[in-house]
Amino acid sequence: MALLPAIASAKLVLSCTLDQGGVTQVLEFLPDTDPYNAKEIDINGRFRFKAVVVGNAHHIDYIKLYTYSQSSRQPVLLHEANYLAPISSSSDSPQTLTGVNYIYSPDLERELKYSCTLQDKRQDTKKDTKQDTKL
């Protein structure tokens, strides 16, 4: 069996921490060249969160964050934030991109708290090439 050496490559990742109703989630979003591929994430059936990260693994063109209230008829946009060509930080010391945002729904004043960081993570990829030698 032959193993190729590990290859370290840069990988930009948007990491968001969302807290709603005592439940905390950490979500990671990868860049995409098509903004229409971004999907809304359901947060406890009360909110929806959508992160549009446009760019590639080495450069981000822009980030758009959307927060919706989930009403009985349809989602209602509560908050939109735009970041043009944000700068990433190393994974050793992630830098906050958004600060802490507090969003309140019009129904019962439910609260969603979120913050996001853009990180330049090094991804170690190991490629195993197994060669069976049967005699």
Q: What is the DSSP string of the chain?
A: -EEPPPEEEEEEEEEEEEEETTEEEEEEE--BS-GGG---EEETTTEEEEEEEEE-SS-EEEEEEEEEEE-SSSEEEEEEEEEESPPPEETTS--BSS--EEEE-TTTT-EEEEEEEEEEEEEEE--EE------
The 10s digit of each residue's pLDDT in 6-59 is: 444 558 899 999 999 999 999 999 999 999 999 999 999 999 999 999 999 888
The 10s digit of each residue's pLDDT in 61-106 is: 999 999 999 888 889 999 999 999 876 555 455 567 899 999 999 8
What per-residue confidence (pLDDT) applies to 58?
85
How large is the average pLDDT for residues 105-112? 88
What per-residue confidence (pLDDT) applies to 10?
58
Question: Looking up tokens 């989602």, which residue turns up?
Answer: 75
